[in-house]
């Protein structure tokens, strides 16, 4: 039996069917932007493992750091001090507006940690605030609390009654915020660019007004940077582009270069609400995961990847806007920042374009059945961008 057929057969027999029929490929190894299938065909990863593989696949420095750490220590638990954990916390705090960091294992866990921190912050002050507002069309994770915060009904419906205390409001409307806030509102959580719903950036004016409003009303502003963080938009974190500072922000995805790690990052006065016993984790921030985070930071700094993300993102978007002008009857919008870009297509062709991209060995994702999402490695080259643009152009001609 062909290897892929064997994998599919086992998957159908033993794996819970949460992903349905996946794209028919299994990868053996990767190098940079390239992924090699079990039949040795080469694919180009323009999705970056859904914004995870910011340094590309199997970066030699990253692989060396992981091998070195594997030879030493993988896990000890949080009962003991962990050198890599302390060093990565320092690295994040020194490079962001956060003062204190807590490590966990995923973006959803980081967002859960942010909710807990916001709630306990007011609890410790003796203030009865517990409600968290988030935005329609948002995506914050798959746990019960993060599903309640996710502004998409199809993710929420099967899990009702939802975790109480969460409500969604219209994005990009400060009026909607003012109408929704009550004396019970503890925090407002937003993504500055909503990735999963099709790459929808918030207006800069809205973000600034929201920051000012939260400060005025004593509400914590939480920014979910799980997808937009770690250089994806051309700055280390999206809130830098918007010129605002959150009270709490979360990150994950690219932070570990593919090794699972998440982080809750907060200002000192907010972080102080977590005291011994208030929160914890077994695996979070273990020696291996934090070695991965340190290796990612080293590569970012050595290779100027945040700057490259800004430069290549601008170039990529310009080339795609040229295609939109050429095929304005088929491409309805091109939007995004840095190397998080959405190409919105007419609904009748979007699925077919996504399929043809895959057939042409270009890996992307299709959001809401309308938008091709691109989130490649931050060390992408102009040649690789041209390869995608030329392939996309060819598909548009044919479709």
User: Among all residues, which ones are annotated catalytic?
Assistant: 139, 224, 253
- Residue from 282, 236, 233, 283 nearest 260 by CA: 283
Q: Are strands 331-337 and 340-345 parallel, antiparallel or unpaired?
A: antiparallel
Full strand arrangement of the beta sheet holding 27-31: 27-31, 34-37, 42-45, 362-363
Give the H/E segment covering residue 34: strand 34-37
- Residue from 257, 254, 192 nearest 221 by CA: 192
| Spatial separation of the C-alpha atoms in residues 307 and 235, rounded to whole Å | 7
- Residue from 211, 209, 119 nearest 166 by CA: 119
Sign of the Cα torsion 285, 97, 233, 156 reads positive
The gap from C-alpha 65 to its chain's centroid, in whole angstroms, comes to 23
DSSP letter, residue 74: S
Q: Are strands 42-45 and 365-367 parallel, antiparallel or unpaired?
A: unpaired
């Amino acid at each position: 039996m062909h290897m892929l057929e064997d994998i599919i057969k086992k998957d159908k027999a033993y794996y819970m069917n949460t992903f349905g029929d996946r794209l028919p490929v299994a990868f053996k190894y990767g190098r940079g932007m390239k992924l090699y299938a079990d039949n040795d065909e080469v694919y180009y990863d323009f999705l970056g493992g859904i914004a995870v593989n910011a340094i590309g696949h199997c970066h030699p420095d990253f692989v060396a750091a992981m091998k070195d750490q594997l030879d030493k220590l993988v896990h000890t638990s949080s009962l003991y001090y962990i050198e890599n954990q302390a060093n990565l916390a320092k690295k994040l705090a020194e490079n962001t507006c956060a003062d204190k960091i807590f490590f966990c294992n995923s973006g959803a866990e980081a967002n859960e940690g942010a909710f807990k921190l916001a709630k306990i912050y007011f609890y410790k002050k003796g203030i009865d605030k517990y409600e968290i507002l988030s935005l329609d069309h948002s995506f914050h994770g798959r746990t019960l609390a993060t599903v309640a915060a996710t502004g998409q009904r199809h993710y929420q419906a099967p899990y009702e009654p939802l975790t109480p205390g969460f409500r969604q409001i219209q994005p990009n409307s400060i009026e909607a915020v003012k109408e929704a806030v009550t004396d019970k509102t503890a925090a407002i959580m937003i993504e500055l660019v909503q990735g999963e719903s099709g790459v929808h950036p918030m207006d800069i004016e809205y973000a600034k007004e929201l920051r000012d409003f939260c400060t005025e009303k004593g509400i914590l502003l939480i920014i979910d940077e799980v997808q937009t963080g770690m250089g994806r938009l051309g700055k280390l974190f999206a809130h830098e582009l918007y010129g605002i500072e959150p009270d709490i922000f979360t990150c994950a995805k690219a932070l570990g270069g593919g090794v699972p790690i998440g982080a809750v990052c907060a200002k000192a006065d907010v972080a102080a609400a977590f005291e011994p016993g208030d929160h914890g984790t077994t695996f979070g921030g273990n020696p291996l995961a934090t070695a991965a985070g340190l290796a990612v930071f080293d590569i970012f700094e050595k290779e100027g990847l945040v700057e490259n993300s800004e430069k290549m993102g601008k170039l990529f978007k310009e080339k795609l806007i040229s295609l939109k002008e050429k095929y304005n009857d088929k491409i309805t919008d091109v939007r995004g920042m840095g190397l998080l870009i959405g190409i919105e297509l007419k609904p009748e062709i979007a699925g077919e374009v996504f399929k043809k991209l895959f057939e042409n060995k270009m890996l992307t994702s299709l959001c809401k059945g309308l938008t091709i999402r691109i989130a490649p490695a931050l060390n992408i080259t102009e040649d690789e961008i041209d390869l995608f643009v030329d392939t996309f152009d060819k598909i548009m001609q044919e479709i």
